[in-house]
Structure 1
């Protein structure tokens, strides 16, 4: 497995083609993460990600997200964190940076919506997504997805 960083990118200008339906990626008491679907585009994949928490996990997620302190990253500890998403495609696996993200919460609920861009289409039709947020109670969970076959003609343009 080669290390790779999936950089944030501008969202595609077309609608894409749905190649995988909604899927729960990780679940623990009070917190769950999933993909709304996977969209294929001629030059990559768009992954709309959602995370919801309630109760103690919501309080922890809110505190971790909006504390205004130093970030937690792969170089060392910090005082705030966010969900960690890693993507695997064709032997390359690594952290993904959200292209867009919005979240909010409080003591009783926390909601996060993010989008991840994968700048390549898997040659074997397989995509691995690993998600974790231990600071908010979500353990690391790996999910292997088999994408539906599609062609460039299946991608729906906006104009």
Structure 2
């Protein structure tokens, strides 16, 4: 199974998955997932790391920069 982790705000941890579908055969492997992270990155940056060692996919990562997060507290609408 594909392993997905996130590093942000100085911590590394797993990503929560809501739905995952995986299949494979004849040397082809596919996985579609819906995932989320329970907090926002304080500096707008996060690193996603994936690995699927069972099929030979070594750990690799990508760094994301999320713009427009600096004033979310001022734009949030409280639900009452």
- TM interval, short-chain normalised: 0.7 to 0.9
- Counterparts of 1:138 and 1:102 in 2: how far apart (Å)? 17
| Structure ranking higher on relative contact order (CA contacts 8 Å, 6+ apart) | 1
- 1:88-126 deviations in Å (ceiling 9; x for gaps): 121121122421111223225322100111011111000
**Partner of residue 148, structure 1:** 67
**Partner of residue 127, structure 1:** 46
Note the residue ranges of structure 1 that are not aligned, 5 or more in a row: 1-81, 154-159
Residue 1 of structure 2 is aligned to residue 88 of structure 1: no
Note the residue ranges of structure 2 that are not aligned, 5 or more in a row: 76-80
If each structure's strand is expressed as a fraction of its own residues, which one has the higher value?
A: 2
Structure-1-length-normalised TM-score: 0.40
The number of residues matched between the two structures is 72
**Partner of residue 25, structure 2:** 106
Structure-2-length-normalised TM-score: 0.73
The DSSP-based 3-state class of the residue aligned with 2:54 is: helix
- 1:12-71 deviations in Å (ceiling 9; x for gaps): xxxxxxxxxxxxxxxxxxxxxxxxxxxxxxxxxxxxxxxxxxxxxxxxxxxxxxxxxxxx
- Counterparts of 1:138 and 1:108 in 2: how far apart (Å)? 12
